[in-house]
Amino acid sequence: MKTVNTISETRDLINSIKIQGKTVGFVPTMGALHDGHITLIREARKENNFIVCSIFVNPIQFNNPNDLKNYPREIEKDIKKLVEAKCDLLFHPSVEEMYPEPDNTIFDFGDLDKVMEGAFRPGHFNGVAVVVKKLFEIVTPHRAYFGMKDYQQLVIIHQLTKDYEIPVEIVPCTTVREKDGLAMSSRNQLLSKSERKIAPIIYETLKLVKVQSGYATISELKDFVHDQFRKHKNMKLEYFEIVDMYTLKSIRTWADSRTAIACIAVYLGNVRLIDNIILFS
């Protein structure tokens, strides 16, 4: 695997690959790679000839300076994992390389970025859109792979490619979970032992929501989830929403939509985790 830090070298390399008629699969990440990321690399491998991964902790998508400071960074370990996964190229730019000047682009995603993560992390999706658009312009992949855990991000990036006619296929990939059900996330390693022990409650609750969605009303399910988290004093529910999978609009009754996904954000101490479960699609 080749590691490149500059935009120009990455562009040159990818151009030479494309001239050979090869397809490029891209997995953008912020590093601290886990099996979820490696699964994305493997999926990309199945469908493309040349695999690019980027590792860039994008400062402008963090609305909380402590979150940015504490975000795990472990490039040597990441490189080893990428080599094992047979990634072809790692693009690992500095902040100066990506943002020689501040990028003040403002995106308009309508209501998509006003709810859930967007409501609780103001500016987050604008920062994601700035960096993902830039990365797509640099890497020019045929396909890009994103995990379903960050479902709202997936919908917004899809919208970004439509709005800007970016010729890339967005490939959603199933959330990879630990044996006890906890969705894999780089943030899991920030959990204390006791927090890690109770973290699976998040997905257990979502599974109970799915079972009950056959007969309970949405407001009953919301009460159920709020009650579940009130029981655990080390966990704080930030939001629980049941939304249409395409518009992300909140559903009040089951008749409101033909698709539904339940999304949740929970604090364990200072660590914020998100997850979701498709109820029907």
The residue ranges that bind ligand PAF (CB under 6 A) are: 28-30, 58, 61, 128, 131-132, 150, 153
Q: Which is nearer to ligand PAF, 99 or 254 (CB)?
A: 99
| b (16+ CB within 10 A) / e for 164-184 | eebebebbebebbbbeeebbb
Q: Which is nearer to ligand PAF, 150 or 201 (CB)?
A: 150
1: CB partners within 8 A, 6+ apart:
79, 82, 83, 86, 87, 88, 89, 90
Residue type, 263: C
Instruction: With H, G, I as helix, E, B as strand and everything else as coil, classify residue 276.
Output: strand
The answer to whether residues 124 and 30 touch, using CB atoms and an 8 Å cutoff, is no
Residues 64, 281: Cα–Cα separation, whole Å: 34
103: CB partners within 8 A, 6+ apart:
60, 130, 134
Annotated active-site residue 37? The verdict is yes
The answer to whether residues 243 and 263 touch, using CB atoms and an 8 Å cutoff, is yes
Q: Which is nearer to ligand PAF, 154 or 216 (CB)?
A: 154
**What is the residue whose two structure tokens read 């919908």?**
155
DSSP-derived pairing of the beta strands 143-147 and 24-29: parallel
Q: Which is nearer to ligand PAF, 268 or 274 (CB)?
A: 274
CB of 192 to ligand PAF, least distance (A): 23
Q: Which is nearer to ligand PAF, 71 or 224 (CB)?
A: 71
How many other C-beta atoms can be found within 10 angstroms of the C-beta atom of residue 69? 8
CB of 127 to ligand PAF, least distance (A): 8
Tell me which of 37, 92, 124, 142 is the catalytic residue.
37
Q: Which is nearer to ligand PAF, 29 or 228 (CB)?
A: 29
Written as one string, the DSSP assignment of 165-233 is: T---EEEEEPPPB-TTSPBP-GGGGGS-HHHHHHTTHHHHHHHHHHHHTTTS-HHHHHHHHHHHHHT-T
Instruction: With H, G, I as helix, E, B as strand and everything else as coil, classify residue 158.
Output: helix
CB of 30 to ligand PAF, least distance (A): 4
Residues 226, 244: Cα–Cα separation, whole Å: 20
Catalytic positions, written as ranges: 37
